[in-house]
Amino acid sequence: MRFLRFEVLKSFLPLALVLASAPSLRAAGPAAQTQTTPGALKMEAKTPTQVAVLKTSAGTITFALLPDLAPEHVKNFVDLAKSGFYDGTKFHRVIPSFMIQGGDPNTKTAEVNSWGTGNGPRRLKAEFSPPEKARHVRGMVSMARSSDPNSASCQFFIMHGDSPSLDGQYSIFGRVLSGMEVVDKIATAPVVQGTDRPVSPVTIEKATIETK
């Protein structure tokens, strides 16, 4: 299935925009405070946080996974990363002040015309967050898809700038913790004339999952 392409930038993005040739950090709202009975021992279980670590040829990017927003998308990303699926893939589409996109297995090949059309073993149902919970602002990580809202598979994008028109249309599942300078480097690299494909694409050498 060929993903649709971007033909316009942020200010002209339609709601049905597809983030594939086929993103100020802002997290979900603060957690509700736990109420305790006076005199009772306060026991708060700390939920382990999973962190994705992308070691790339331009440096390392880490981002927290957000299962409270998109549990199935997080599970899918973790499964793919642990299997080595993302190792050797490239950031094949970059738009400064917008986003960088990667995760396509086709980018492991020299067939550049197929880049942006690859899929993983699963399709995911949409887990769109309302804007009051999470927005597509600089540093957020979201899933690319085709015109079908339930078609996200393996390709993902990291926001280089803010794009509110994507809110409620794509599934946010992560937030960058470190390495935005690497995102900046990838986003502003020279591209092949007339395309969004980098002249020298940055490779994800190793994707791992850590628990904090």
pLDDT at 47: 64
**pLDDT higher than 80, residue 24:** no
- Burial code (b: 16+ CB inside 10 Å, e: under 16) for 1-19 equals eebbebeeebeebeeebbb
**pLDDT higher than 70, residue 30:** no
pLDDT at 20: 44
pLDDT at 46: 56
pLDDT at 36: 39
CA–CA dist 139, 105 (Å, integer): 23
| Residue 15, C-beta contacts closer than 8 angstroms, at least 6 positions apart | 165, 169
Q: Residues 47-98: pLDDT tens digits?
A: 679 999 999 999 999 999 999 999 999 999 999 999 999 999 999 999 999 9
Report in angstroms the alpha-carbon separations of 69 from 59, 133, 135, 173. 27, 8, 11, 6
Report in angstroms the alpha-carbon separations of 63 from 24, 54, 97, 179, 197. 15, 9, 19, 9, 23
Q: Write down how long the chain is.
A: 212
Q: Which fold does the domain 48-211 belong to in CATH?
A: Cyclophilin (2.40.100)
212 band by pLDDT with thresholds 50, 70 and 90: confident
